[in-house]
Amino acid sequence: MDRCNAPQFGLILHNSDNPLRQERCLPPFLASAGVARDFVASRLRRWGRSHQVDDGVQLVSEMFNNALIHAPSADYVVAVDWNGGRVRLEIWDSSPHRPIVLPLDFEQEHGRGMHLISALAESWGCHVATSGKCVWAILAGTPKTP
């Protein structure tokens, strides 16, 4: 299921039969960030992309924590997708508000998450759907088949 093309965000998720796309529905708890990190790391290792685990884990952690803080939702969906030779990470929430990239201020405790995402990802973006949004990032790296 490609959630970026599905306007019905609130549907119950089932494990995909597609080995190149997996999704997990997570509750709105800080501990869920660890589940998201483990999920992404295990999928990358399964696809033979161990060299991308550190960046993938950092990306999904920033994306999930940003959603948890700035986009309150009853639940969140993390997805990892082998998309045309690239690995795409997604976080879905029920907020229609796009992420805001704040000016970089090293004196502030917060506000660097989107800058980290920009630095680690080949590209990133946001897709707003009828009942929420998807923030996605493409892991930088040479494409190869899984």
Domain for residue 99, yes or no? yes
| Nearest partner of 100 among 110, 120, 114, 117, judged by Cα | 114
Domain for residue 144, yes or no? no
Domain for residue 36, yes or no? yes
For the packed helices 113-120 and 53-70, what is the interaxial angle rounded to 10 degrees?
150
**Which residues have a Cβ under 8 Å from the Cβ of 83 and sit 6 or more positions away?**
138
Domain for residue 107, yes or no? yes
pLDDT for 32 equals 93
Domain for residue 145, yes or no? no
- Give the CATH number of the domain where residue 78 resides: 3.30.565.10
Domain for residue 39, yes or no? yes
pLDDT for 3 equals 40
Domain for residue 90, yes or no? yes
pLDDT for 118 equals 83
Residue 3 zone, left/alpha/beta (φ > 0; ψ -120 to 50; rest): alpha
Output the six-digit token pair for 46: 């399964």
Any idea what DSSP says for residue 49? -
User: 104 is in which domain, residue-wise?
Assistant: 3-139
Q: How many domains are contained in the chain? A: 1
Domain for residue 146, yes or no? no
pTM (whole model) above 0.85: no
pLDDT for 54 equals 94
pLDDT for 56 equals 95
**Interatomic CA distance for residues 90 and 78, integer angstroms:** 6
Average pLDDT across each block of 10 residues of the chain; the chain has 146 residues. List them in order: 35 56 92 94 92 94 92 93 86 86 66 75 90 91 59
